[in-house]
């Protein structure tokens, strides 16, 4: 697990809430606290869609809405000059999604015990933290995939010129 404190909160939040940087990331949950607390579950209700769309979602193993679809709701809650009291967004990548979304190959068939790779973003007390995590189906002492995911996120932030410090 990697914990990063983002140095330039405004720039990162612009990329998150206005830019398209995170648009394709699958979002499992979001919570925004302003005058109320608003919670969004990113799980796609397949029964809502027609059978063709359900087939596409199933075939592509899509279970969570992309950030692009949820972002406008979060942005509308945050709008104005007042910062939220709290913001939490959790992105979860299925192993096969990591390579396509972050343009890095870190999954092999030997890693079938990996359930997902997580990127957690939390703004609280005027501090923005990002943490990484890997969910495994069973306990393992091998932390190579976890280290590789941490490096992938660090590389991604470097490409975005996101200044951060490891905690």
Spatial distance between the Cα atoms of 167 and 156, rounded to a whole number of angstroms: 18
Residue 15 in 3-state DSSP? helix
* Residue 167 domain flag: no
The total of structural domains in the chain comes to 1
* Residue 40 domain flag: yes
Check residue 66 and give its pLDDT: 94
Check residue 120 and give its pLDDT: 97
Residues of the chain with pLDDT under 50: 101, 109-110
* Residue 166 domain flag: no
Cα-based distances in Å from 7 to 80, 103, 128? 22, 25, 8
* Residue 59 domain flag: yes
* Residue 139 domain flag: yes
* Residue 111 domain flag: yes
DSSP state of 20: S
Q: Which pTM does this prediction carry?
A: 0.86
Check residue 96 and give its pLDDT: 65
* Residue 33 domain flag: yes
* Structure tokens given for 12: 């990162």
Check residue 104 and give its pLDDT: 56
Check residue 74 and give its pLDDT: 93
Q: Tell me if 74 sits within 8 A of 17, measured CB to CB.
A: yes
* Residue 138 domain flag: yes
DSSP state of 21: T
Check residue 109 and give its pLDDT: 47
Spatial distance between the Cα atoms of 120 and 30, rounded to a whole number of angstroms: 10
Domain of residue 154: give its range. Answer: 3-161
Check residue 112 and give its pLDDT: 63
Check residue 110 and give its pLDDT: 47
């Amino acid at each position: 697990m990697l914990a990063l404190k983002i140095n330039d909160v405004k720039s990162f939040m612009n990329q998150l809430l206005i830019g398209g940087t995170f648009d394709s990331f699958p979002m499992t949950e979001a919570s925004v606290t302003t005058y109320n607390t608003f919670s969004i579950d990113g799980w796609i209700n397949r029964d809502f869609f027609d059978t063709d769309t359900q087939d596409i979602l199933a075939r592509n193993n899509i279970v969570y809405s992309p950030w692009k679809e949820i972002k406008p709701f979060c942005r509308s809650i945050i709008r104005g000059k007042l910062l939220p009291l709290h913001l939490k967004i959790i992105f979860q990548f299925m192993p096969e999604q990591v390579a396509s979304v972050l343009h890095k190959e870190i999954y092999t068939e030997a890693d079938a015990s990996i359930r997902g790779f997580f990127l957690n973003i939390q703004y609280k007390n005027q501090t923005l933290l990002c943490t990484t995590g890997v969910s495994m189906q069973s306990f393992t002492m091998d932390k190579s995939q976890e280290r590789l995911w941490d490096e992938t996120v660090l590389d991604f932030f470097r490409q975005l010129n996101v200044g951060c410090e490891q905690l």
